Amino acid sequence: MSLSSVEPLPPASQGRSSEVPGPSSVLLRSATRDGAPVYGYRRVPGVPPVGVVRMGARHAGLGVVQPRPHAHDFLVLVYVERGGGRLRLDDREWQAEAGDVLLVAPGEVVTFLEPDLHTSDGWSVYFPPDVMQPGDRGSFLSWRAHPLLFPFVRGVAGGAQRLHVPPGQRAAFGEHITALEREVRERRDGCSEAAIAHLTLLLVAVSRLAAGSADLVLRDEPLLAAVFDAIEAGFRAPLGLAEVATRVGLTPGHLTTVVRRRTGRTVQQWITERRMVEARRLLAETDLTVEAVGARVGYRDPGYFARRFRAAHGVPPLEWRRAGRAR
């Protein structure tokens, strides 16, 4: 799961580089408080800011290091195609199986256990957190919006999740990764733009998996879990900071501080995002009027709903719907 460099790198302040073939430059640079080495992402000019490595015993020596405890300062997505194995992420042990997707945020200490996951057939995709920062309105919208994924999205230590790809979706999911790997490996003109496009499709697929995984909970974040539960239960009706604060037993000011510090967004922004996700679904999948859609997502004033939607998407709701149906 950890990856090494494509070129010899100078020694870091507390570590040294390893030299195994790989599409991007990753440097062993320091150690965690537990003594585990930390692999840091180092960009290489002309190489897309994302790496893809094939896992499995038959692919040994193609970039996966020995299965010792380690951490990363970048994001890692692991997809298990066949086989499985056990691993520990900080203090949690997981048995990964075929179809599982593991999302590992920076700072998580990864330890492979017997049987080793890194010998299973699959893929490891890795990239620095800033690759996913939005440059345009709506960029990575569904990926960034899902509260279960925000630790991974924002590069927050302590964020990890396991999702599962249903059998009928695995071929398409794997195609996203193989297309991404091909762009990174071949490095043709426009490879960086193409790689980011394929990464976007992959992350959207992950967000859809998360949206269908009702059994997931936020790790070690009971307050945030309660906040998102309150938003989920109440976003279809008038709902604001005060109501959410009452439900979780905190003052509005304290709740605002905690949620902004942990997620980078305010409670009201999360309420709006949840409403917009549902509004997009209703606009795409039903023939409800715009006024009815707004009412179903908590906006009693159609004009206010239209303004909020336009602020988030750049176009009014009806234009958004027509554009989708014109294809």
Which residues, in sequence order, are bridge partners of residue 100? 164
Q: Going by C-beta distance under 8 Å and a sequence separation of 6 or more, which residues neighbour residue 217?
A: 225
Tell me the C-alpha distance between 93 and 31, whole Å.
22
Q: Going by C-beta distance under 8 Å and a sequence separation of 6 or more, which residues neighbour residue 271?
A: 231, 235, 239, 240, 244, 298
Tell me the C-alpha distance between 144 and 312, whole Å.
13
Q: Going by C-beta distance under 8 Å and a sequence separation of 6 or more, which residues neighbour residue 260?
A: 266
Which residues, in sequence order, are bridge partners of residue 28? 39
Beta strand pairing status for 92-97 and 84-89?
Answer: antiparallel
* Residues shown for the chain: 327
**Residues 29-59 pLDDT 10s:** 666 656 788 888 888 777 888 999 888 755 4
Tell me the C-alpha distance between 231 and 150, whole Å.
15
Q: Going by C-beta distance under 8 Å and a sequence separation of 6 or more, which residues neighbour residue 303?
A: none
- Closest C-alpha to 65, from 127, 20, 23, 106: 20
Contact between 324 and 284 (Cβ < 8 Å): yes
Q: What does the pLDDT read at residue 168?
A: 94
- Closest C-alpha to 269, from 248, 289, 239: 239
Q: What does the pLDDT read at residue 62?
A: 43
Provide the sign of the torsion angle of the four alpha carbons 210, 211, 217, 221, taken in this order: positive
- Closest C-alpha to 26, from 71, 57, 56: 71
Name the stretches of the chain with pLDDT < 70. 1-34, 57-67, 115, 118, 132-160, 211-221, 264, 324-327
Q: How many other CB atoms sit within 10 Å of the CB of residue 107?
A: 18
Contact between 41 and 126 (Cβ < 8 Å): yes
Residue indicated by tokens 């209703």: 282
Q: What is the pTM assigned to this prediction? A: 0.65
Which residues, in sequence order, are bridge partners of residue 26? 41
Tell me the C-alpha distance between 306 and 299, whole Å.
9
| Backbone conformation region of residue 63, classed left if phi is above 0, alpha if psi is from -120 to 50, else beta | left
Q: What does the pLDDT read at residue 148?
A: 52
Tell me the C-alpha distance between 258 and 11, whole Å.
39
Amino acid at 275: R
